[in-house]
A and B are shown apart, each in its own frame.
Chain A
């Protein structure tokens, strides 16, 4: 069965279905059960499952993350929620020093089935401390899985899979995606595999590998490239960035001969560098141009709108980079509309 749902409703549905299915699943975190319910994503869980399985916490990210590990190794499946990924920096000791390696150093005797949900990315004048994504940091650590869904259907299917997975999963949700609506498979067991990319748009001339919100920008760029240049972009969403089966990406680049990585993170030592390196190593003979990368500016996110606009990458950056790679004259985009906070994409894909 499918239904048109928003991204927030898709997350909410996955949580309630998984809690219904397995009494060991519980959802907690600062402000999780309050009237705002993490942008509506945890709405109704308290009423449906009670305060033993949906509860708020003190402001204690370090201890509350270790709490998840302790609960996971003792048989439950915690889902810990953070309204900003930036706050997860207070939990890095547990995530990096403990959670990531507990299955390994106990030679598999203990498993760590837990999910850490965190909201990433651009809001509205959020400046440097409520605006990052940081997925590359987590992806660097062996033992963690890092998921960043873009579509409502992926949000639902990948969250259900993450909760059922016996490994620790970092699950990252972009704020601007919450309002997007699209068709969602609402069956309780409609799982999507972790670690498999998905081609959001088929194309033949250039491959764009985009993460999270950058898929929205890449799809807009693809429309414009088609309209002005008759150029066909393939847009591939890795959906999980670690561990990741790169085969679909390699196949696409071997066909198109061109690759742009549009990442929602800083470039330096980031996921974009990883993709570029792997594509260069594996598709070297097919590449007609070096792999290009687009991401956050190498600075901090400022508050003021004109500078904030320059900090975050967008569709125009992808268009201009594509034109440069394919040696096309820059199209006049003055009549085109692009996404802003006030003019967010609402879907469907």
Chain B
């Protein structure tokens, strides 16, 4: 059993290296699914999910690899799904963009911006009615706050005091459009705080900081009722969809990237572990285990069969 900081590092390293492997494998054209990589963003997935209980439920977006691996962690079903194989989480029907893991509480993601936000309302309502203590966390990009459904959902969650953590992951971009080109206000948290909703904001890439905010949010929900709203900044290292850098496109500068690279979450957390006295060998042991897991899962996925043609019509109706 790893201590909290080692576990946070392991989770982030798993996410980072799973995606770095996707970048290596993608040119082979065997992963026939659009990928929205979350490299640079790992501290949010790891930090928010770490303090949640196993039975708590989450929702995400098409940029979901991080929260899948942090919540579920099963790289066999993960790579199986990306390869479109029978062994995938959903036998290849979901691919990257609609990946989730209902058995481990990752209840859904979607490829249409904002669409899982109201699902968190219904999910959370059930938990409130059954008084089962489960929390719902919904991750969405800042671009989703442009959508009407976001405001409808915040309003309803506040009205019913639903036990939801809204996690607004802000890289300033809705695909390639900056917030300043889309919004008639300066601060989303200022506005949300006018609802009956406690807000938190952070620009930290330290998963321990994010985890502590989450613990504070959870305590607030337990004591005062929900919901709570997190505004978390990060930087998307790669293009919106795909495996490459896109600084040459001209809509953002490499300088900006380098400023964020200086506080890269994986790098910071590794340094933190060393500072806390964990040996280089122990860290390498964690890394080796993760890399071996990924390698095994990729090999298994590559060798797995595709689903039978009859699968096309399976699960259309119950």
A94-B115 CB under 8 A given contacts A70-B123, A73-B107: yes
| Smallest CB separation, B91 vs chain A (Å) | 5
Residues of B within 8 A of A67 (CB): 118-119, 121-122, 125, 156
Q: What residue of chain A has the Cβ atom nearest to residue B88's Cβ?
A: A107
Contact assessment for A70 and B316 in the assembled complex, using a CB-CB cutoff below 8 Å: no
Q: Does A204 lie at the interface of the complex (its beta carbon under 8 Å from any beta carbon of B)?
A: no
Partner of A62, one of B108, B123, B124, B152: B152
A62-B318 CB under 8 A given contacts A76-B126, A102-B108, A110-B108: no
Q: Does A142 lie at the interface of the complex (its beta carbon under 8 Å from any beta carbon of B)?
A: yes
Residues of B within 8 A of A74 (CB): 57, 107, 122-123, 126-127
| Smallest CB separation, A106 vs chain B (Å) | 5
Chain B contacts with A in 92-106, Cβ cutoff 8 A: 93-94, 98, 100, 102-103
Contact assessment for B93 and A105 in the assembled complex, using a CB-CB cutoff below 8 Å: yes
Contact assessment for A69 and B122 in the assembled complex, using a CB-CB cutoff below 8 Å: yes
Residues of A within 8 A of B316 (CB): 103-104, 142-143
Q: Does B35 lie at the interface of the complex (its beta carbon under 8 Å from any beta carbon of A)?
A: no
Query: How far is B129's CA from A70's CA once the two chains are assembled, in angstroms?
Result: 13
Partner of A109, one of B90, B119, B122, B159: B90
Q: Does A63 lie at the interface of the complex (its beta carbon under 8 Å from any beta carbon of B)?
A: yes
A63-B107 CB under 8 A given contacts A104-B316, A111-B318: no
Q: What residue of chain A has the Cβ atom nearest to residue B307's Cβ?
A: A107
Residues of A within 8 A of B44 (CB): none
Contact assessment for B318 and A93 in the assembled complex, using a CB-CB cutoff below 8 Å: no
Partner of B156, one of A57, A73, A76: A57
Contact assessment for B121 and A66 in the assembled complex, using a CB-CB cutoff below 8 Å: yes
Number of A-B contacts (CB under 8 A): 135
Query: How far is B121's CA from A93's CA once the two chains are assembled, in angstroms?
Result: 16
A58-B152 CB under 8 A given contacts A70-B125, A104-B93, A109-B102: yes
Partner of B94, one of A93, A106, A243: A106
| Smallest CB separation, A284 vs chain B (Å) | 27
Chain B interface size, as a band, is 35 or more
Residues of B within 8 A of A94 (CB): 115, 118
Q: Does B304 lie at the interface of the complex (its beta carbon under 8 Å from any beta carbon of A)?
A: no
A106-B102 CB under 8 A given contacts A58-B159, A143-B317, A167-B317: yes
Query: How far is B98's CA from A109's CA once the two chains are assembled, in angstroms?
Result: 13
Interface digits, A50-69 against B, CB 8 Å rule (1 contact, 0 not)?
Answer: 00100001101011111111
Q: Does A166 lie at the interface of the complex (its beta carbon under 8 Å from any beta carbon of B)?
A: yes
Residues of B within 8 A of A243 (CB): 317
Query: How far is B89's CA from A74's CA once the two chains are assembled, in angstroms?
Result: 19
A105-B94 CB under 8 A given contacts A62-B148, A94-B115, A97-B115: yes
Q: Does A71 lie at the interface of the complex (its beta carbon under 8 Å from any beta carbon of B)?
A: yes
A93-B112 CB under 8 A given contacts A64-B118, A66-B118, A70-B121: yes
Q: Does B75 lie at the interface of the complex (its beta carbon under 8 Å from any beta carbon of A)?
A: no
Contact assessment for A70 and B120 in the assembled complex, using a CB-CB cutoff below 8 Å: yes
Q: Does B149 lie at the interface of the complex (its beta carbon under 8 Å from any beta carbon of A)?
A: yes
Contact assessment for B318 and A167 in the assembled complex, using a CB-CB cutoff below 8 Å: yes
Contact assessment for B119 and A73 in the assembled complex, using a CB-CB cutoff below 8 Å: yes
Residues of A within 8 A of B98 (CB): 105
Query: How far is B118's CA from A66's CA once the two chains are assembled, in angstroms?
Result: 5
Chain A contacts with B in 121-170, Cβ cutoff 8 A: 142-143, 145, 165-167
Interface digits, B53-81 against A, CB 8 Å rule (1 contact, 0 not)?
Answer: 00001010000000000000000000000
A60-B156 CB under 8 A given contacts A70-B120, A70-B123, A110-B102: yes
Q: What residue of chain B has the Cβ atom nearest to residue A113's Cβ?
A: B318
Contact assessment for B90 and A52 in the assembled complex, using a CB-CB cutoff below 8 Å: no
Q: What residue of chain B has the Cβ atom nearest to residue A60's Cβ?
A: B152
Chain B contacts with A in 23-46, Cβ cutoff 8 A: none
B contacts, CB < 8 Å to A = 57, 59, 89-91, 93-94, 98, 100, 102-103, 107-108, 110, 112, 115-127, 129, 148-149, 152-153, 155-156, 159, 314-318
A contacts, CB < 8 Å to B = 52, 57-58, 60, 62-76, 78, 93-94, 97-98, 102-111, 142-143, 145, 165-167, 243
5 nearest A-B pairs in the assembled complex, by CB-CB distance: A70-B122, A66-B118, A71-B122, A63-B152, A70-B119
- What would be 16 A-B contacts, judged by CB atoms less than 8 Å apart? A52-B129, A60-B156, A62-B149, A67-B119, A69-B122, A70-B120, A70-B121, A70-B123, A70-B124, A97-B112, A102-B108, A105-B90, A108-B314, A110-B102, A166-B318, A167-B317
Further 8 A-B residue pairs, CB within 8 A, beyond A71-B122, A106-B315: A63-B117, A67-B119, A93-B112, A102-B108, A107-B90, A108-B318, A109-B90, A143-B316
